[in-house]
Amino acid sequence: MGNLLLPLVTLVQVSGQVPSAGVQVLSAKTGKLSCLFPGDEGTVRAEMDGALKRIATQCCKPNIPGAEACVRIVGTACISGQPPGITKRTFGEAVAACAEIGVQAEGLPYTLCNQTCTGRGCLYDQHPLYSSIP
């Protein structure tokens, strides 16, 4: 399965497209918040707690289970900045950022997470989160 990760990351980096099955945008508080589908490639905000907020990027290390896979901080910097200055990224840009961060840190691309990573820092629990969950 690890061999399938890099082609998917490369494809999304080049195309910037949301997968045909779509992907969930998560709330760390409640789980699924909304979904992105093909055609939503320019979306950078989602409604949460009655407000339209930027979607934060959090990354996960491959092949590591649970919250230990979650990466929100690299060095001393939050991947998506900190509220109110959450970095503006599309889904494709978020995938590319995670891949680059992982390659630089460990020689393997990180992915978008398939979990909320609640309580893992940077106040991202207050923002919608990109995910890899269809």
Per-residue pLDDT tens digits for 54-91: 999 999 999 899 999 999 999 999 999 998 899 999 99
Residue with the larger pLDDT of the pair 5 and 29: 29
Q: For residue 60, what are the contacts with CB-CB under 8 A and spacing of at least 6?
A: 69, 70, 71, 98, 110, 111, 112, 113, 114, 115, 117, 132
HSE of 30 in the Cβ direction (CA atoms, 13 Å)? 9
Percent of residues, the chain, with pLDDT higher than 70: 88
How far apart CA 3 and CA 10 sit, in angstroms, is: 12
pTM of this prediction? 0.86
Mean pLDDT on 106-127: 94
Q: At 115, phi and psi to the nearest 5?
A: -155, 170
The full DSSP string for 15-32 is H-PPPTT-EEEEETTTEE
